[in-house]
């Protein structure tokens, strides 16, 4: 890639970077993050010392072969799991110092998750699927309704509100999942292979939605195997065997 590479620039002073306090103005900051899993007698090195900063309104594609640590990285960023060592700060606050209830609140309000498999509740209609984080968050009914309708409208599904997930296409289901992720205006949207179960045309529709959200100021981190999906992002991070192999701005 012919573009300016922050990786190369960073590498020169990576020692210095690692000694620095996490930046307080970035959305998130990882320093020397290691994640190992003990599997009986074996140790799996899922992440081997990852440092990165993601600023507000960045649009990042995380790529790399299967098993390279992409989902592990997303889980850590999403506060679904904790690093074995290293530090993580989100909006200037150290995640390791947060209580369980603060973490639950962050997972619900600050992070919007979108998964390959949509993860909708089959028996609930679209409105209730999107409303759910607000219910967990203790938001009152009138505000819940307002926020839920706004999120559903943003993904263009206002006419499908009363439908159940199985009455929708795959692309529409993923749009519901995006609406659910948006309902609290999260600091960051984490999408782990959001187009992985969709054909390329439907995948493009989902990427149109993500592009629009990014245009409106949303920070997005997206895992994908597909180059044409990654091209939507403005930065590409490649993982290889638990390490960052490349981190380049592509726009």
Exposed, middle or buried by CB within 10 Å (0-12, 13-18, 19+), for 210? buried
Phi, psi dihedrals of residue 42, rounded to the nearest 5°: -95, 150
| Pairwise CA distance, residues 236 & 224, whole Å | 10
In whole angstroms, the minimum distance from the beta carbon of 190 to Mg ion comes to 12
According to DSSP, the residues that pair with 2 across neighbouring strands are none
Assign 31 to helix, strand or coil.
strand
The residue among 29 and 72 lying less far from ligand ADP, judged by its C-beta, is 72
Among 68, 89, 148, 224, the residue binding ligand ADP under the rule CB under 6 A is 68
x-or-dash string of contact with ligand ADP, 46-65, rule CB under 6 A: x-----------------x-
In whole angstroms, the minimum distance from the beta carbon of 66 to ligand ADP comes to 4
The residue among 143 and 245 lying less far from ligand ADP, judged by its C-beta, is 245
| Pairwise CA distance, residues 101 & 159, whole Å | 36
- Does residue 71 bind ligand ADP (CB under 6 A)? yes
C-beta contacts of 210-215 below 8 A and 24+ residues apart: 210/59, 210/178, 213/154, 213/178, 213/182, 213/189, 214/57, 214/59
Q: How far apart are the first and last CA of the chain?
A: 11
CB under 5 to 8 A by kind: which of ligand ADP, Mg ion, none does 22 bind? none
Q: Which two tokens stand for residue 244?
A: 């960052």
The residue among 163 and 225 lying less far from Mg ion, judged by its C-beta, is 225
**What value does the CA radius of gyration of the chain take, rounded to a whole number of Å?**
18
Among 11, 21, 44, 167, the residue binding ligand ADP under the rule CB under 6 A is 44
In whole angstroms, the minimum distance from the beta carbon of 25 to ligand ADP comes to 28
The residue among 62 and 132 lying less far from Mg ion, judged by its C-beta, is 62
| Strand locations in the chain (E) | 28-39, 42-54, 59-63, 85-90, 93-94, 111-115, 188-192, 219-223, 235-240, 243-249
**Site for Mg ion, rule CB under 5 A:** 70-71
Among 2, 66, 122, 217, the residue binding ligand ADP under the rule CB under 6 A is 66
Segment 20-39, which members bind ligand ADP (CB under 6 A)? 37, 39
Among 3, 8, 67, 96, the residue binding ligand ADP under the rule CB under 6 A is 67
In whole angstroms, the minimum distance from the beta carbon of 74 to Mg ion comes to 8
Residues near ligand ADP (CB under 6 A): 37, 39, 44, 46, 64, 66-72
């Amino acid at each position: 890639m012919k573009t300016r590479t922050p990786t190369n620039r960073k590498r020169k002073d990576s020692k210095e970077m690692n000694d620095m306090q996490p930046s307080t103005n970035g959305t998130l900051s990882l320093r020397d993050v290691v994640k190992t899993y003990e599997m009986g007698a074996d140790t799996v090195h899922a992440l081997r010392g990852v440092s990165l900063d993601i600023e507000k309104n960045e649009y990042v594609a995380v790529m790399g072969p299967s098993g390279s640590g992409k989902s592990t990285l997303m889980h850590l960023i999403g506060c679904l799991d904790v690093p074995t060592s290293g530090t993580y700060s989100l909006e200037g606050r150290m995640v390791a110092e947060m209580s369980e209830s603060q973490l639950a609140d962050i997972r619900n309000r600050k992070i919007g998750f979108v998964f390959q498999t949509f993860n909708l509740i089959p028996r609930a209609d679209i409105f209730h699927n999107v409303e759910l984080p607000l219910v967990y968050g203790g938001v009152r009914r009138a505000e819940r309704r307002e926020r839920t309708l706004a999120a559903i409208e943003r993904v263009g599904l206002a006419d499908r509100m009363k439908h159940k997930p199985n009455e929708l296409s795959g692309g529409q289901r993923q749009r519901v999942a995006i609406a659910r992720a948006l309902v609290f205006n999260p600091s960051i949207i984490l999408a782990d292979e959001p187009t992985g179960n969709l054909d390329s045309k439907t995948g493009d529709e989902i990427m149109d939605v993500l592009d629009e959200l990014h245009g409106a100021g949303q920070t997005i981190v997206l895992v994908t195997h597909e180059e044409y999906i990654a091209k939507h992002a403005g930065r590409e991070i490649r993982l290889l065997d638990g390490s960052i192999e490349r981190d380049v701005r592509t726009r």
